[in-house]
Amino acid sequence: MRRSELDPKLLPLVQTLFAAARQVLAIGVTATLPSHEVTVVEDVDSALALGGAFDAGLWRLGSDTAQARAGLTSLRNALVPGAPLFLIADKRAPALDQLRAVLARGPLPRARLETLCEAALLAGLSAPRVHDVSPRWLLVSVELPSKHTSLDAFFEQPRGQPSR
């Protein structure tokens, strides 16, 4: 996927939700965030190869839904527990379909964006919000779990982080 610059309409929202973060991982998108150290990579595999623990993540989804679903699980190894993560999808298919595929196990009704929040909770993420602030882009903000709990046994676990 070719990298693109973060839409300026999304910047204030990203800056607000990343206020406490210092090291931001940007996947598939370049972003200039004042007072943040931003590391830009092409894909999740490249992010994992860095071997770092980033305070926040920004991920522009492409068109490969299978890769994205696996990427969300793997991405938990690159971000610190409790880190905010923005998933950015183009409102035009297939990127919006990929957002649905990343968060949900099955198809979601196109007309109900709140189902993306429900799907994020069922994927073991917390504080999901859908931000429809741009004519072209749809953002879903989530937070990674702050720690492992007994409920993790009911959700997908990332490789290398077994349930306790």
**What are the pLDDT digits (tens) for 113-135?**
677 777 788 777 888 888 887 78
- The total of structural domains in the chain comes to 1
Query: What pLDDT, on a 0 to 100 scale, did the predictor assign at position 109?
Result: 54
- Asked whether the beta carbons of 24 and 38 are under 8 A apart, the reply is yes
Count of beta carbons in the 10 Å neighbourhood of residue 23: 16
Query: What pLDDT, on a 0 to 100 scale, did the predictor assign at position 163?
Result: 42
- Domain membership of residue 53 (yes or no) is yes
Query: What pLDDT, on a 0 to 100 scale, did the predictor assign at position 112?
Result: 58
- Asked whether the beta carbons of 91 and 103 are under 8 A apart, the reply is no
- Domain membership of residue 136 (yes or no) is yes
Given a cut of 50, is residue 162 above it in pLDDT?
no
- Domain membership of residue 123 (yes or no) is yes
User: In DSSP terms, which residues pair with 109 in a beta bridge?
Assistant: none
- Asked whether the beta carbons of 91 and 117 are under 8 A apart, the reply is no
Burial (0-12, 13-18, 19+ Cβ within 10 Å), 141: buried
Given a cut of 60, is residue 161 above it in pLDDT?
no
- Domain membership of residue 163 (yes or no) is no
* Domain limits for position 123: 4-154
Query: What pLDDT, on a 0 to 100 scale, did the predictor assign at position 63?
Result: 61
CATH number where 45 lies: 3.40.50.150
Read off the pLDDT of residues 72-103 as tens digits, 9 standing for 90 and up: 777 878 888 889 998 888 777 666 666 777 77
